[in-house]
């Protein structure tokens, strides 16, 4: 069942605290519980698997590395010879061209990194630790038996789980797959996400702007966030506040997509049609969430499609997307891990906040000279100030009860993606 919260008054992002707000955590739990992951599997070439969700555990069909080999350039010796005074060099082992013979007592083989260890050798002495005179080498003291050797299967043993099912595939996973000699991976089908902007004041970027009109920027941030989320996109453009057109677009979008996102018109009164239509054709709750920015949010279903009606203000769109839609998309995509990474940092400017709503302030996270993570906010935190997202590299997450933070306090931060 979808939680429905009746709204008595017109909510506005800048209002003070009022009762009947849902907490961010409750809202997220309800959203996640509504979603059934996509289960269809397709086979794709390794490179195309980047960013996709692996459908099932990938077992290693081979040992990686496939032979015990040298981890350093140097000499392959027998551990029992480490205290010998002088060893005879009887040949060379190259990466890809093993030394064919075996090593007897008092002998060694010149060896390059990655070369197969010659028979009866078990230790590598780095070339820097050796004095070579003609075909004899003399070892520096302090060598350890078995040093600088990589064992067959030490990275991945035959039959072991190389990659876990339901994980997202990043560059390392493509490399691991290739290291196993595998050319295709079973991945889950991408969910389809339809989105559009609503509002009579919206203009497309190629059009001139009259007084009171704004360019539709939300569809561009949404485009970016959805591409990064790895879903298939259907962009329905800008739909004016026209009941017939809106209903038609909602119906088309929900018939063609697993999830539908709109921005704006989530405030009662401003776009009454949206609510009337959603009531008529779907099961959609209008939520007031105890958060800032991004309080009004519609969540529910239109037929089998999940529906998110995000707020209109540009920062609210991004905050509600990252806090609610992204975890929903991860679950829908079949991904095991649906939460974003968070850590803590020391505050370097005062963060103002009233208790009653969780806040997602835009922050700049950096590493201070003493090695600790520090964070300051980007200044003015209005929900229309999209440049605050540009200046930020993290959200500062201040919980509902927080009364802000003083310089030196520790706060939770959610870094924007780092290495990708
Ligand atoms: P609303 O939720 O419709 O009341 O909109 C809240 C604010 O967001 C208003 O200032 C709108 O003009 C603005 N807004 C709504 N949609 C967009 C959009 N697609 N791009 C940029 N700003 C928008
Ligand atoms: Mg509007």
Give the integer Cα–Cα distance in Å for 159 and 60.
5
Q: Quote the CA–CA distance of 205 and 223 in Å, as a whole number.
A: 14
Residue 278 banded pLDDT, cuts 50, 70, 90: confident
Q: Rounded CA gap, 86 and 5, in Å?
A: 84
Is residue 270 in contact with ligand 1, taking CB distance under 6 Å? yes
* pLDDT exceeds 60 at position 13: no
The reply to whether ligand 1 has any atom less than 6 angstroms from the CB of 311 is yes
Instruction: Give the C-alpha separation, 387 to 125, whole Å.
Output: 57
Starting from the CA of residue 315, give the closest ligand.
Answer: 1
Q: Is 309 in the pocket of ligand 1 (CB under 6 A)?
A: no
Which of 273, 294, 313, 321 to mutate to test ligand 1, by most ligand atoms within 8 A of the CB atom? 313
Residue 271: pLDDT band by 50, 70, 90 thresholds? Answer: low
* Residue in the block written with tokens 């059934």: 36
Write out the two tokens for 57: 């555990």
Q: Which ligand is nearest to the CA of 309?
A: 1
The response to whether residue 107 sits with its C-beta less than 6 Å from ligand 1 reads: no
The candidate with the shortest Cα–Cα distance to 280, out of 232, 243, 305, is 243
Q: Is 18 in the pocket of ligand 1 (CB under 6 A)?
A: no
Strands (E), 204-282: 214-215, 232-239, 259-263
The reported pTM is 0.89
Alpha-carbon distance of 214 to 63, in angstroms, equals 59
3-state secondary structure of 307: strand
C-beta 317 within 6 A of ligand 1 = no
Count of residues in the chain = 420
Helix, coil or strand: residue 386: coil
Whether the predicted pLDDT of 317 surpasses 50: yes
SS3 190: coil
Q: Is 218 in the pocket of ligand 1 (CB under 6 A)?
A: yes
Ligand located closest to 197 CA: 1
Does residue 247 surpass a pLDDT of 90?
yes
Range of lowest pLDDT (11-20, 23-32, 168-177): 11-20
Determine which helix (DSSP H) or strand (DSSP E) holds 374, and give its type and residue range: strand 373-377
Identify the residue whose C-alpha is closest to ligand 1 atom 16: 312
Residue nearest atom 23 in ligand 1 by C-alpha distance: 312
Handedness of CA 72, 75, 77, 82 (dihedral sign): negative
Quick one: 32 exposed, middle or buried, by C-beta within 10 A (0-12, 13-18, 19+)? middle
**Can you read off the two tokens belonging to residue 226?**
């959805």
The alpha carbon of 147 and the centre of ligand 1 are apart by a number of angstroms equal to 64
What would the mean pLDDT of 71-88 be, rounded to a whole number?
A: 96
Q: Please give the distance, rounded to the nearest whole angstrom, from the Cα atom of residue 304 to the centre of ligand 2.
A: 26
Q: Strands (DSSP E) along 151-213, which ranges?
A: 161-163, 184-188, 192-198, 202-203
Q: Determine which helix (DSSP H) or strand (DSSP E) holds 109, and give its type and residue range.
A: strand 107-111
pLDDT surpassing 60 at residue 150: yes
């Amino acid at each position: 069942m979808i939680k429905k919260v009746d709204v008595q008054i017109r909510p506005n992002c800048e209002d003070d605290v009022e009762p009947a707000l849902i907490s961010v955590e409750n809202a997220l739990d309800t959203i996640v519980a509504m979603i059934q992951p996509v289960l269809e599997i397709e086979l794709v070439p390794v490179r195309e698997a980047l960013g996709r969700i692996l459908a099932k555990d990938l077992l290693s069909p081979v040992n990686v590395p496939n032979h015990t080999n040298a981890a350093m350039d140097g000499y392959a010796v027998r551990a029992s010879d480490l205290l010998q005074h002088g060893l005879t060099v009887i040949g060379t082992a190259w990466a890809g061209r093993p030394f064919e013979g075996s090593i007897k007592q008092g002998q060694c083989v010149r060896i390059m990194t990655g070369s197969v260890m010659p028979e009866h050798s078990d230790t590598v002495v780095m070339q820097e630790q050796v004095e070579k005179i003609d075909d004899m080498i003399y070892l520096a003291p302090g060598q350890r038996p078995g040093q600088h050797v990589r064992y067959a299967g030490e990275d991945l043993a035959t039959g072991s789980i190389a990659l876990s099912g339901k994980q997202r595939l990043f560059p390392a996973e493509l490399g691991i797959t290739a290291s196993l000699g595998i050319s295709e991976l079973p991945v889950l089908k991408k969910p389809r996400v339809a989105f559009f902007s609503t509002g009579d004041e919206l203009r497309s970027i190629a059009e001139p702007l009259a007084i009171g009109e704004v360019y539709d920027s939300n569809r561009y941030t949404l485009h970016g966030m959805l591409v990064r989320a790895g879903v298939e996109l259907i962009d329905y453009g800008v739909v004016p506040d026209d009941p017939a057109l809106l209903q038609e677009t909602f119906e088309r979008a929900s018939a063609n997509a697993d999830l539908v996102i709109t921005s704006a018109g989530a405030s009662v009164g401003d776009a009454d049609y949206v609510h009337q239509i959603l009531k008529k054709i779907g099961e959609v709750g209008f939520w007031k969430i105890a958060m800032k920015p991004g309080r009004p949010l519609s969540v529910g279903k239109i037929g089998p499609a999940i529906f998110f009606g995000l707020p209109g203000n540009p920062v609210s769109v991004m905050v509600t997307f990252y806090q609610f839609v992204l975890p929903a998309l991860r679950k829908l995509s079949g991904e095991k891990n649906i939460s974003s990474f968070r850590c803590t940092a020391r505050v370097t400017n005062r963060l103002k906040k009233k208790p009653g709503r969780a806040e997602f302030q835009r922050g700049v996270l950096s590493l201070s000279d003493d090695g600790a993570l520090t964070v300051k906010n980007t200044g003015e935190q209005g929900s229309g100030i999209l440049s605050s997202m540009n200046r930020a590299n993290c959200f500062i997450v201040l919980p509902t009860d927080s009364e802000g933070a003083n310089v030196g306090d520790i706060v939770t931060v959610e870094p924007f993606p780092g290495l990708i």
